[in-house]
Structures are given as structure tokens and as C-alpha cells.
Amino acid sequence: MKGYTGKLLRVNLSDGKISKEEISESMQRDFLGGRGFAVKLLWDEVKRVDPLSERNKIVFSTGPLSGQLLPSSGKMVVASKSPLTGGYGDGNIGTMASVHLRKAGYDVLIVEGKSENPCYLLIEDEKINILDASELWGKNTFESQDLLEKRHGKNSGILLIGPSGENLIRISTVLSQRGRAGGRPGMGAVMGSKNLKAIVIRGTGTISNFDDEKLKEYAKKAYEEIKGKEAYPFWMRQGTMQVFEWCNENHCLPTYNFREGVFEFSKEMDGYVLERMAVDRKGCPMCNMQCGHIVKDIKGERAELDYENVGMLGPNLGMKTLAEVALLNRMADEWGLDTISLGSCMGFLMEASEKGLIPEKIGWGDFDRAQRLIQEIGRGEGIGALVTEGVKSASEKIGKDSHRWAMHVKGLEISAYNCHGCPGMALSYGTSPIGASHKDAWVIAWEVSTDRFSYSMEKVEKIVEFQRIRGGFFESASVCRLPWVEVNFGLDWYPKFLEAITGHKRDWEELYQIGDRIYTFIRAFWKREIPSFGRAWDYPPPRWFEEAPSQGKLKGIKVDKEKYDQMLSWYYEIRGWDQNGIPSKETLHRLGLSEVTKEISL
């Protein structure tokens, strides 16, 4: 199909074998790209393997919109069987590697096996080399990025891991461009387990589209439309940090390990503080909404801040200034640790310390101790070793009632929204296909502005609608969703882009169906990999059901478990899954996934 290279590059690090394979038209049609390709490939090729063994594979997958001359298209999905959750895991990273991979002639890169020694992969169009990385091993992501840029050119697409990925710390992510991160559920550890420090891509070709003239015309108008949007100027000032103040006002800021939703030092680290401190702005390729705000941390080093990072490393730990948070963020980037899981793990340890469940003293807001803690986690040493597999595993190790405040779903730590007073967002976390991520259905803004405390069918339908658009379409297309989410760029542009690129007209109904196929497939993946998987995995932590915040306007408010249960049942009905959350035979047939039926013993 036009708009795809139609090629998958496969590199086996065990025997050095390299092959280029066709991606069938039916795969392009049924799965679109990105996340869709990733789940299909992982389903076919990764069955009941140890995620950190050489039998696991890691997929870098683009879609028909990736790398095109279109707003915010420099994105790519990084997916694998997750070492953090044991299920399907992915993330979406903004990187020149996405553009270069497509220009080099591939839609997908899949890396399998394990190199005997530290290596990195160099892809230059047809020429593929597995090179020695002993000089890079042990270096942080900034040093490694510098070194690789010196060797291969500043404009290269570079994906890499830090020392935490090398040390197989399961909350490690993949980094690019000194501040882009993707693959929260341990994708950095999967690269580390393969002794793969980095991937460098340089492509010189072009993508062959159906109607380039039309696409150019659309692109020009689209960029202009984005710039003219009412929300654009404020977005350019604060980026994702504009939500910080909103969260505090609405009492959903993650505070003291999600105990509270409002933070006494919020004025020291909100979007306005960011505006005053910002020294630079960066972003992903092809984007005119650049949201990477750079500040100088407390030691004068550059750090790129986003809302999730600040929420999880700021109020969640009781830090007091943005300059402190920036340093913790910078350290996470250097080590290659996911900021969300890191913030949750550190909050968990602080609470465990306060409750006397661990011997170490780690106080809330103890900035010096927090810095040392990041190093311990990155190395897997000292008390840091307790949380290297995330908070779920840590709570299983220390026992008592710690599972009640281990803030995760399916083993992936909850991102920066406290949901005591947001049952819809709690369900969104509960049903996200990779564990507790906000990426699939960020329903919280709509929920707070409508009937906040209700448990309605309308909320469940909204979650499914968001999942179809965000987790289905944007993750597969695969482009950044923020033009639509943040400045209200029209969704009706996207079928037009697709038609100019591929020559095929597709409406939202068809795109929704692709999303449904992907969600059901991911669900089946979890079931095949974890036979006990089912309804019990779709609940947020007991803290939101049992313990209300002690202050503010949500004092006394909790999520009602029975009503949550009812919403979950409705959710399954809409999806065509049984009441244990397992896709029914009929649904699998309807979505063209009959092959899956016998593997999950239906």
C-alpha cells in the first residue's frame, strides 16, 4: 500500500543474521501500524518467554503518518513483552529515529536474540552493522548521545538506554534526543538484556505516498491551523505543565504517594514557575507545538520538564522547588529510569519508611536522600534494590498492608493523577492495556468538567471512545495526539491525511474498528502470557477505595468499589469481553482474530 515502505528489518543479535521482510497489505489494512503492528508481531513471535531472556523481542514500529511532512509526526512505538508487568508493554517516543527509519526504507525494526558483548546497531539505508559498544557501556544517556552524535552526525536518529537499562532495572525506559522517553513498562531493560546500548539510524530515501501534492497542501494548512488556535499561545508558554495548577485546584495532584490531591508547595513548581525558569524549548521532529521546556536544575544543568515528571518527582515525594525536581528529572534521564515509575517507587519507599516497614530513614521531601536513592535504584543496590521491579513486587516483598498503597495497575505504576474523586479516570487506569497509563484515555478533564462524582454509562462510553482514538488510532498511525488534545486541532484532518498518503478512504468508524481489534488482541496477549489474568487485574489500588484524602474539598471522598464494579462490567459489555474480562469467541471472530481463540482456551 502507498505510504508504507512495506518492509520490516529484523536483526538477530545472537547470530548477527539480518533480514528484510515484507509487511503484507492485509497487515497494513487490519492493524494500520505502530501499536497494531507491534501486538501482531509479538503475538506471533513471543510466546510465554521470560521478558529478559534472549527469546524476547523488541519492536520499533512506525505507522503511515510517522515521519511524514505533517504536524507532530516524528513518533514511534517501542514495544515488547514487559519485564515489569509480564504482559504487553509499549510506549510512544518522539525521535528523529522514526523519520530516519522510514527514510531508510523500513516501517518496523525488530531486534531479537542477545549479543555476547555490549553492542549498538547502525542502520544506514540498506547497510546494517552491529558495532562494539564497550566504550558506551556504563555511560549515561547524555554522554552516550554526545558520543554517538560525534561519530555519526548530529542529525542521526538515536535511541538509547542508560546504566539502569544495562543493569536490567525493570522501570527503565528508552531515551532519545536528551529528554524524549518512551517505553515505560521496562523497554530499557529489554534492550539492556540484549546487551544493546543504542540504535543509530540514518536514512536518505523518501516515503512514496499516493498524492504528495495534496499532502503538502494539507500540511501547510494544518500547521497554520494549529498556530492559529486559541489555546496555542498558552500551550507554547507552559506545554504539558499547564495541567499542574489545574490538578492542584481540582485536588487530583499526586501528593505524598497519592494520599492527598492538593499540595502545599504547588506554587513553587507550577507552570508559571516553569515559564520564569525556562531557558530553551525543544520538541519532536516536524512539530510546531514544541513542548519540551528546558530549565536549569539546582546545579545549573539542563533538564527537560513535563507534567508527569514534575507531578511524580515533586508533590508525590514532597519536594519543595522546581529546581530540585528538575535535578531529579535530569538524573532519571541520565540513568534511563522512567520518571513516573521512579517517582512512585520513591514515594512507596518514603511511606514504607514512615510506617517503619523498612529500617532506612527516607523522609518526605528529603532532597539529598532522594538523589542517592535514584543512584541506588539505578544500580539495584541498598534499599533501591527493593523497588527495581516496581512497587507491586516491592509490596509483595515487604508484605503487611503495603499492597494497599502500592500505586500500580497490572504492575505498571500509576501516572500523575490522583483519582479519589475521579472514578472515570480510575477506570481508565484500570482498563489501560499496558497497566496504569494515562495515554489511552485521559478522561479526567472531561470528567471533572461534567458530572465528576457519577458512575455513569456515559463515562464508560467516553473511556472507550478515548481509547479508540488515542490508544487505537494515534498509537497506530503513529503520530502525536497533543495537537488534538491540547489545542483542539480537528480530528477530521486525520482520515484526509491517511487518504492522501495511502490512496484509501477510511472513516472514523473503520478506524475505531482497528482500535477495537488492537485492544482485544492485546487483551488476548495478556491472557496467553498470564493464565490467571482476568477481572481482578482491572482494579486500581485499594488506597482509592479505602482511604480518603485528609484535606481540601475532597476530604472524605473515595471511589465506591461496588459502583466501580458496575462500570467495569459495562466496559466489558461494550468491548464484547466476558465478565472476567476475556474476549468472547464471537468478538474475536467479528474482529478477524479467530486465530487467537484456541490459544486462550476458549
Span near ligand SF4 by CB under 6 A; candidates 284-292, 309-317, 352-360, 381-389: 284-292
Residue with cell 495532584: 253
Question: Which strand (E) or helix (H) includes residue 212?
Answer: helix 212-228
Distance CA 577, CA 571 (A): 9
User: Pairing relation of β-strands 119-124 and 196-202?
Assistant: parallel
- 488 scored as a contact of ligand SF4 (CB under 6 A): no
Q: Which does 304 bind (CB under 5 to 8 A by kind): ligand PTT, ligand SF4, none?
A: ligand PTT
In 3D space, the residue among 121, 129, 75 whose CA is nearest the CA of residue 98 turns out to be: 75
- Whether residue 87 contacts residue 167, with contact meaning beta carbons closer than 8 Å, is answered with no
Which phi and psi (to 5°) does residue 181 adopt? Answer: -140, 140
Give the residue with the Cβ less far from ligand SF4, 377 or 480. 480
Distance CA 220, CA 38 (A): 31
Taking CB atoms, the residue at the shortest distance from ligand SF4 is 283
Site string for ligand PTT, 169-208 (x = CB under 6 A): ----x-----xxxxxx------------------------
- 284 scored as a contact of ligand SF4 (CB under 6 A): yes
Q: Which does 338 bind (CB under 5 to 8 A by kind): ligand PTT, ligand SF4, none?
A: ligand PTT
Span near ligand SF4 by CB under 6 A; candidates 286-294, 393-401, 469-477, 521-529: 286-294
Give the residue with the Cβ less far from ligand SF4, 95 or 341. 95
Q: What is the DSSP string of 517-573?
A: HHHHHHHHHHHHH-TT-SGGGG---HHHHH---SSSTTTT----HHHHHHHHHHHHH
Give the residue with the Cβ less far from ligand SF4, 282 or 403. 282
Q: Sign of the CA dihedral 42, 44, 49, 54?
A: negative
Q: Which does 113 bind (CB under 5 to 8 A by kind): ligand SF4, ligand PTT, none?
A: none
- 480 scored as a contact of ligand PTT (CB under 6 A): yes
Distance CA 427, CA 70 (A): 33
Q: How far is the CB of 480 from ligand SF4 (least distance, A)?
A: 3
> What are the grid coordinates assigned to 320, written together?
519543595
The residues pairing with 160 across neighbouring beta strands, listed in sequence order, are 175, 198
In 3D space, the residue among 30, 34, 109 whose CA is nearest the CA of residue 65 turns out to be: 34
- 191 scored as a contact of ligand SF4 (CB under 6 A): no
Q: Which does 418 bind (CB under 5 to 8 A by kind): ligand PTT, ligand SF4, none?
A: none
Q: Which does 184 bind (CB under 5 to 8 A by kind): ligand SF4, ligand PTT, none?
A: ligand PTT
Choosing from 482, 518, 557, 588, the residue that interacts with ligand PTT (CB under 6 A) is 482
Choosing from 2, 137, 290, 504, the residue that interacts with ligand SF4 (CB under 6 A) is 290
Give the residue with the Cβ less far from ligand PTT, 33 or 94. 94
In 3D space, the residue among 78, 111, 95 whose CA is nearest the CA of residue 201 turns out to be: 95
Choosing from 270, 338, 389, 447, the residue that interacts with ligand PTT (CB under 6 A) is 338
Peptide bond into 478 cis (omega under 30): yes
Span near ligand SF4 by CB under 6 A; candidates 279-287, 420-428, 522-530, 569-577: 279-287
Q: Which does 428 bind (CB under 5 to 8 A by kind): ligand PTT, ligand SF4, none?
A: none
- Whether residue 43 contacts residue 524, with contact meaning beta carbons closer than 8 Å, is answered with yes
Distance CA 341, CA 571 (A): 27
Q: How far is the CB of 125 from ligand PTT (least distance, A)?
A: 24
- Footprint of ligand PTT (CB under 6 A): 75, 91-94, 173, 179-184, 240, 284, 304, 306-309, 332-333, 337-340, 439, 474-475, 478, 480-482
- Footprint of ligand SF4 (CB under 6 A): 72, 94, 283-284, 287, 289-292, 480, 482
